[in-house]
Amino acid sequence: MEVVTYSRNVFIPLTNACRNRCAYCGFRSDNPKLMDEAEVLELIKRAKSAKEALFTFGEKPEIYDEIKRKLKAMGYSSFLDYLVAMNKMAIENGLLPHTNAGILEKSELKRLKPYNASMGLMLEQAVELDCHKNSPGKKPEIRIKMIKDAGKLKIPFTTGILVGIGESKYDREYSLEVISEIHKNYGHIQEVIIQNFSPKKGTEMENFSPPTIEEMLETVKIARNILPNDVTIQIPPNLVEDIYPFIKAGARDLGGISDVTPDYINPEHPWPAIQKIERCLKGEIILRERLPIYPKYIKLNWFSDEISWLIKKLSDGDGYASPGL
Ligand code: SF4
């Protein structure tokens, strides 16, 4: 029987400060917040069934004086120091971190690697698009470099494309080919998210139409043809009504699902209940929980001594999440 995976996580949006201004973004703010340690710990403690702490937040938040002041008040000399401390807090409380920080230097990736089971950066599209004209971090060459740097450091990695942000069908295929080539060279891409653009009120792109289900299904099929077989295709289950046709088209993962936190990037789309997902799979496909690091990379020992005890505790003999926990 076919298997589809997901990860039980808690979504920790450390800050909505971001140097970019993507035309579709409803997350960043000009009056940015930074979570304090007590707020992070409170979320971690509430996530009783989670095994993953998903740290997702804006890019290079230290460009804001307000953020620098808050970090200093908490006793941190840099955002990276604070992030490492929050990663460690998750580990101490039994959760495996997956950090999605936007653009990082190779030295920063190296510092974060011991405290993360996997990391991520959406490629989005490997071409310049109008929606990214005010987003220096969305230059394709910068993103491609970081994804390659993660490969050089043997970090299990998540990337993906955002569909419907002004790209052509050719651009989608080209972007998937770029990801495929990177994986052939470094072997670190465990999953590729095929994510549909979802318009947000109050943004420049609020009146843009999201891609149709047919376009999304076609993109998943194209992705399955282009990407190497050991790269899993992920489809966000809160952004499509019925996952079944996407599984039939080649998707095999549903990403992180949380019973304590919303999708802060798409808060208007709640996570489906596990029971609903199982109903959509019609008893034809097994739903299996995984960790933020895929079984293949556990077998390859692509993790640090700092988290090996936790991976052992949370995984079963096949490298999936242990069902008893
Ligand atoms: S989409 Fe991400 S990178 Fe772009 S402005 Fe929003 S938070 Fe920043």
Q: Which atom of ligand 1 lies nearest, measured to the CA of 16? A: 7
Q: What is the DSSP string of 53-120?
A: EEEE--S-GGGSHHHHHHHHHHT-SSHHHHHHHHHHHHHHTT-EEEEE-SS--HHHHHHHGGG-SEEE
Domain membership flag for residue 14:
yes
Give 20 Cα–ligand 1 centroid separation in angstroms. 6
Q: In this prediction, what percent of the chain has a pLDDT beyond 70?
A: 100
Domain membership flag for residue 216:
yes
Give 16 Cα–ligand 1 centroid separation in angstroms. 9
Average pLDDT of the chain, as a whole number:
95
Domain membership flag for residue 74:
yes
- Is the shortest distance between the CB of 135 and ligand 1 below 6 Å? yes
Enter the pTM of the model. 0.96
Domain that holds residue 308: 2-314
pLDDT confidence bin for 201, thresholds 50/70/90: very high
Q: What is the pLDDT of residue 258?
A: 87
Q: Which atom of ligand 1 lies nearest, measured to the CA of 24? A: 1
- Is the shortest distance between the CB of 236 and ligand 1 below 6 Å? no
Please compute the mean of the pLDDT values over residues 231-236 and round it to a whole number. 96
Domain membership flag for residue 319:
no
Domain membership flag for residue 304:
yes
Nearest CA residue ID for atom 2, ligand 1: 58
The domain that contains 216 carries what CATH number?
3.20.20.70
Q: What is the pLDDT of residue 64?
A: 95
Res. 260: pLDDT tops 90? no
pLDDT confidence bin for 317, thresholds 50/70/90: very high
Q: What is the pLDDT of residues 8-57, one digit of tens each?
A: 999 999 999 999 999 999 999 999 999 999 999 999 999 989 999 999 99
Res. 324: pLDDT tops 80? no
Domain membership flag for residue 86:
yes
Count: domains in the chain = 1
Alpha carbon distance 160, 235 (integer Å)? 10
